[in-house]
Amino acid sequence: MSEFNSQVYTESQDGLRAYILKVFSRMGWGLLITAGVAYLFNVLLSTGSEAAAGVYMIFAMVCLVAELIIAFTLSLRLNKMSLQTATVLFYAYAAVTGVSFAAIFTIYTSSEIFISFLFTAVLFFSCVAIGHTTKVDLSKFAGIMLGGLITLLILSVAAWFIPALRNSLMVSYIGVILFCALTAWDMQKIKSYYYGLSGDEVMRSKMSIMSAFQLYLDFINLFLYVLRIVSNSRNRN
């Protein structure tokens, strides 16, 4: 490799590392916002007030609708919105998700939540490393992953009506496997966005928001499935 090509390659790798760091920084802020909002609403619920619980239930349902609206808006209108708008929407999504997460503290113990978070972090960053280093084009498995998401959705809805399925960990294990695969794929997509949008810095920055949003969703969903598995295992013991 010539000295010129070596310099270009080094600069390209430095730029990619900076871009990835920006994505994970935004994702991290999203997780912190979710945790902060969840803690505040948990304090509200811990008062034991029936009025507070009623207000929370109404607010949580409103936030659930808001999550869907924000997710669809980010996915479908990212090209037309400004970078600032995309950033605000992502952090708004993280905040309303925190409202739903407040209920976790009333269902699971602090030790279960802590252990699940640590285990999720190990799984998540292991999959990130795989997605960053693998030479296999994971987009070839997009159809399988999409089918897995649809199957997971159907099983989750069916579990509401079928006690045997609701008490089974099958759905949780499928969820863990699926979101591990999605994490690796979403990490690989970050590299493709960086190189594929090299001539459009504005769109590249917008895609960094979308990448942070996708990885945020991967982490949140992976955490929820791991939490169910950890809780079930501890209860059996």
Orientation angle between helical segments 110-133 and 201-236, nearest 10 degrees: 140
* Cα distances (Å, whole numbers) of residue 80 to 31, 67, 71: 26, 20, 15
Residue 225's closest CA among 179, 172, 174? 172
Identify whether the C-beta of residue 119 lies closer than 8 Å to the C-beta of residue 56.
no
Instruction: Say which DSSP state 139 is in.
Output: G
- 164-196 tens-digit pLDDT: 666 678 888 999 999 999 999 999 999 889 988
Tell me the average pLDDT of the chain: 86
Distance CA 47, CA 128 (A): 40
Q: In this structure, what are the phi and psi dihedrals at residue 162, rounded to the nearest 5 degrees?
A: -115, 105
Residues 103-158: pLDDT tens digits? 888 888 889 999 999 999 999 999 999 999 988 888 888 888 888 888 888 887 78
Are the C-beta atoms of residues 189 and 211 closer than 8 Å to each other?
Answer: yes
| CA–CA gap between residue 116 and residue 124 (Å, rounded) | 12
> Quick check: helix, strand or coil at residue 79?
coil
pLDDT above 90 covers a percentage of the chain that reads 46
Q: Are 179 and 1 in contact (CB under 8 A)?
A: no
